[in-house]
Amino acid sequence: MLKSGPNHWGSLAKFFHWTLVALILVQGAIGLIMVDLPKRPSVIPVYSFHKSLGLTILALAVLRLAWRLFDARPHDPPAMPRWQALGARAGHALLYLLIFLVPLSGWWYDSVAALRPLYWFGLIHVPPLGGPDPSIPDLKHIAADRHQLLFWVLIAVAAGHALMALIHHFHNRDGVLKRMLPFTRI
């Protein structure tokens, strides 16, 4: 089913969820590897791919949020305490926020670094989000630090999210994990 129901996530919600998980994991690995590469022209394609993938994640996040606003959310398990339901909603809101902020901060970093024009996979020119500011000499480094910090916060929150899904599955045995797994129906 395309749309979510009271006891399951729909196929489109699952698609967005797992596609973003995969892309964020790949993106994180590329980002961690590329910072240790020597700074020479031969590595520019790695940086360009990282930036393009980040913009793709941002676009998918916009589509995911649009679908999430349109699609119903499955009901909480009957035995879930209210404080856990509120915590889950807060955690999901934080995940959504970070999934937007990490690529936006990378775009901002690229903009203030002003090394070369940004193209999405070499096809579409992406305008900068502002530019260098001579009155803030360390702006490029500040932007880089913010981007890295937000990435690590996203990883920590996502790890907490995954841990809670495993607790629901193995301890609570309430089907929360199964309803988001691909190719499963409850």
pTM of the model: 0.92
Domain count, the chain: 1
Within a domain: 186: no
Domain of 108 in residue numbering reads as 11-172
Residue 111 falls within a domain, yes or no? Answer: yes
In a domain? residue 117: yes
User: Is residue 39 a part of any domain in this protein?
Assistant: yes
52 in a structural domain:
yes
CATH number at residue 109: 1.20.950.20
Tally: H helices and E strands in the chain: 4, 2
Label residue 185 by pLDDT band (50, 70, 90). Answer: low
In a domain, 182, yes or no: no
Q: What is the mean pLDDT of residues 29-35?
A: 96
Asked, for residue 159, whether it belongs to a domain, the answer is yes
Long-range Cβ contacts of 112-115 (<8 Å, 24+ apart) = 112/139, 112/140, 112/143, 113/140, 113/143, 113/144
pLDDT tens for each residue of 163-174: 999 998 899 888
pLDDT, tens only, 106-164: 999 999 998 889 999 999 999 999 888 878 889 999 999 999 999 999 999 999 999 99
* Residue of 3, 103, 8 lying closest to 60 (CA atoms): 103
Hey, what amino acid is at 140?
K
Closest CA to 114 of 133, 99, 95: 133
The reply to whether 178 falls in a domain is no
3-state SS class at 118: strand
* CB-side neighbour CA atoms (13 Å) of 80: 20
Residue 181 confidence class, pLDDT cut points 50, 70, 90: confident
Side chain identity at residue 92, one-letter code: H
Q: State the number of CA atoms in the 13 A half-sphere of 107 facing the CB.
A: 21
Task: Return all residues near 186 (Cβ < 8 A) that are at least 6 apart.
Answer: 7, 8, 175, 178, 179
Encoded tokens for 136? 């803030």
How high is the mean pLDDT of the chain? Answer: 93
What pLDDT digit, counting tens, does each position of 52-108 carry? 999 999 999 999 999 999 998 999 988 899 999 999 999 999 999 999 999 999 999
The pLDDT of 178-182, averaged and rounded, is 88
